[in-house]
Amino acid sequence: MQSNFLFTILLIVMNFTVFNNCSAFGKDPFGAHQEKIQKSPNFDSTKEQFVNRRPNILDEMREKQNMLSLTWKFFFGGSDYKTPTEKLPEVKPDMVEFLKPSDGIKFIWFGHSSFLVNIDGKILLFDPVFSESAAPFSFIVKRFQDAVIKLEELPNIDYIIISHDHYDHLDMETIQFFAEKQTKFITPLGVTSHIKDWGIAEDRLMELDWWESLNIGGVEIVCTPAQHFSGRKCSNGNKTLWGSWVIIGKSERFYFSGDSGYDVHFKNIGDKYGPFEIAFIENGQYNELWREVHVLPEETGQAFLDLKGKRLVPVHWGMFDLSLHSWYEPIEELEKQAELKNINLLTPKFGQIVYTKRDNIFERWWKAFLSN
């Protein structure tokens, strides 16, 4: 979660260091590109930035935060189990099996918000972060363990879809790996400016505003709202749009929340595009102090119901420490919500292939770590 106090403190420090020109910061939209995206109804010309449905919600969130107290809690307080004491279980995925034709959806979760989907033969990769940290410098926000596969082991990716430009969702090293590939990129407005700066040809970049869509060989991609914010350093907040995604195949469809606080957009999306075979919804790196931009577990459950989902896959947990809670609290709390609300909760291991048209075996694998 890039909204927490640690992220803010780190960026303030970096703005006063020799790293101010670090390429990982990316590049905000400028020139004709900037003029184009500023015509969006979600861009506030007075503030000169993108805004949420409730335009002042971020200001209200920041007013209630005591940065000094939060920073102290992060470094000297919080849970004693913020990171795992042992390697978390994983499965080496069989990519030959994953690529086989199917009339249903297949997916592989790699931890946090990175996952791979095969829908109607289209191979889609979401918010891929394969480098060793979710930050501009490798010595901070380090991942719990290496990705279950290397980038070189991925199959050919048709499209990479990005939810917003925060480091734990848009990773420069991962993006640069695809510079010489044929993979195309789909992002919310403005985010392609970073990707272009990192060496991806402009003719492979596409971006959408909320409720806009495009068709890729029979699969419809829709950019839908989220309640969040953007920026890769303190001086460029909200110059690019954030969003969620609806993917509509021939017979099945799914939803990815990106990062978002709870609001009416979940119900609006569910009413317009639901029901969804799968809903990938963030559940982790939350705190009551920043619930405006990240759902709490009970809100994850309600968002799933609003979306008219059939199966819930929690993401945004299990790989990075970006809050005060233990690494396993998000899934423990969501499991309680799933029982209360009769939600079909899917809990794959890293690398496990999950099918919508085939029985799957899921373990409550994190339970083995609770006493460690």
Distance CA 209, CA 243 (A): 8
Residues 96-148: tens digit of each pLDDT:
999 999 999 999 999 999 999 999 999 999 999 999 999 988 888 999 999 99
Average pLDDT over residues 154-179: 98
Residues 284-327: tens digit of each pLDDT:
999 999 999 999 999 999 999 999 999 999 999 999 999 999 99
Task: Tell me what pLDDT residue 12 has.
Answer: 47
Task: Tell me what pLDDT residue 140 has.
Answer: 86
The band of 22, judged by pLDDT with boundaries at 50, 70 and 90, is confident
Residues 78-93: tens digit of each pLDDT:
667 899 999 999 999 9
21 pLDDT higher than 70: no
Distance CA 320, CA 315 (A): 11
351 pLDDT higher than 70: yes
Residues 54 and 263: beta-carbon distance below 8 Å: yes
Average pLDDT over residues 223-244: 92
18 pLDDT higher than 80: no
SS3 103: coil
345 pLDDT higher than 50: yes
Strand order in the sheet with 219-224: 213-216, 219-224, 244-248, 253-256, 278-282, 312-315
55 pLDDT higher than 80: yes
Task: Tell me what pLDDT residue 65 has.
Answer: 79
Six-digit token string for 12: 């303030």
pLDDT above 70 covers what percent of the chain?
89
361 pLDDT higher than 80: yes
Average pLDDT over residues 162-168: 98
Q: Half-sphere exposure of residue 239, counting CA atoms within 13 Å on the CB side? A: 19
254 pLDDT higher than 50: yes
Q: Can you list the domains of the chain with their CATH numbers?
A: 5-369 (3.60.15.10)
Residues 348 and 106: beta-carbon distance below 8 Å: no
Q: Half-sphere exposure of residue 9, counting CA atoms within 13 Å on the CB side? A: 16
Sequence-ordered list of residues with C-beta below 8 angstroms from that of 171, at least 6 positions apart, any chain: 128, 129, 130, 131, 134
Distance CA 321, CA 85 (A): 13
